[in-house]
Amino acid sequence: MKAVHTELHRSHDPQFFLVRGVVKRTTEQPERADRLLKGLKDGKHQLVEPTEFGQGPRARIHSPEYLSFLSEAWDAWTALGDAGPEMIGNVHPVRHAATYPTHIVGKLGWHTADTAAPIGPGTWAAACAATDVAVTAAQMVMDGEDAVYALCRPPGHHAYRDMAGGFCFLNNSAIAAAHLRLKHERVVILDVDVHHGNGTQGIFYARPDVYTVSIHADPVAYYPYVWGYAHERGEGAGLGANLNIPLPIGTGDDGYMQAMEIARKAIESFAPGALVIALGLDASEHDPLKGLAVTTPGFRRIGQAIAKLGLPTVFVQEGGYLSDILGANLTSVLAGFEEVR
């Protein structure tokens, strides 16, 4: 399996992470990509540089005002003269009878769901490069590759149409799915990250053409807390095109594979033409965020189950944080896929 990657991700190097009132260094560090690259090397995957697709694929998913905000945010922030080294909102309006702000501090709050998406001088460039990685992988699959892996950083599945959050700015998985829609009538996004793909769900919630499925730690006690419950099934034309499978904290391999079987049946009933895997590796038993307890052999089983769906597949990297086993888990899930396909 070929893998798409760019070193441009390094321009995004966030520092701030607020955990239960304590400021820590974020777990979404450039070193994540280094460990994932080692996993690709160990699996003997060929690396491919992305093609620049420009703003078009991003504009299919994200609003014009949001893209404008992200592209101009850092310059507006530094022009304040007394601002900090990263952009972190101090107001998050709930948008009830609200007016879109003109001041950069107001825009920052409007366009961020939480404090876990600090914007720095290179964030926009890195986020755009990540979308090019995802779209390149999708295009390669559309051109005949059976499956391609996209090493996207920063990740994307918590990003809404016009709102960043949870380390995410542009929704790489959603952008890949929208690109696949240029060829396929129906596409599925299967999110196996330990966190619910709330941004992806929000983007497609009223659409019947992209079926969003998320297997994740139960949000009753885990981020994002207010999205990801089983009763969230879509709305309007998209009613029934969203499936959430929340798992008890600490669920291991066998419980996870039971959820994969539920997902398989639902995906096959939808009869898609292509599949996007929002590949979080943070369901690992060794991940620092401690939500689920999937082993390295368990990730191989997940890869095998994905392969059995028999669909053209784009793997888009989401979570998976700094642990000694991160690269091995990537090697394992891709190897499991290749064993079947």
Kindly list the catalytic residues. Answer: 158
| Rounded CA separation 153/335 (Å) | 22
Q: How many domains does the chain have?
A: 1
Average pLDDT over residues 245-270: 98
pLDDT at 289: 87
Q: Is the dihedral of CA 113, 115, 116, 119 positive or negative?
A: positive
Mean pLDDT value of segment 50-55:
98
pLDDT tens digit sequence for 235-244: 999 999 999 9
Phi, psi of 214 (to 5 degrees): -135, 125
Q: How far apart are CA 319 and CA 30, in angstroms?
A: 12
Q: Is 42 left (phi over 0), alpha (psi -120 to 50) or beta?
A: alpha
Residue 212 forms beta bridges with which residues?
189, 242
* CA distances in angstroms from 303 to 93, 266, 296, 330, 335, listed in the order given: 40, 18, 11, 10, 7
Q: What gap in Å lies between CA 93 and CA 99, rounded to an integer?
A: 10
Q: Which of 284, 278, 250, 249 is nearest to 263 (CA)?
A: 278
Residue 292 has pLDDT above 90, yes or no: yes
Quick one: how many helices (H) and strands (E) in the chain? 10, 10
CA-wise closest residue to 289 among 330, 316, 321: 321
- The answer to whether 3 and 47 have CB atoms below 8 angstroms apart is yes
- DSSP state letter for 301: H
> What pLDDT does residue 79 have?
97
pLDDT for 123:
98
pLDDT score for 94: 85
Beta carbons within 10 angstroms of residue 195's beta carbon: 28
Burial class of residue 266 (count of CB atoms within 10 Å of its CB; 0-12, 13-18, 19+)? middle
What confidence tier does 97 reach under pLDDT thresholds 50, 70, 90? confident
Average pLDDT for 180-203: 98
Q: What is the CATH number of the domain that holds 79?
A: 3.40.800.20
The pLDDT of 286-293, averaged and rounded, is 93
Structure tokens at 51: 């093609």
What domain range includes position 227? 2-339
In this prediction, residues 311-326 reach a mean pLDDT of 96
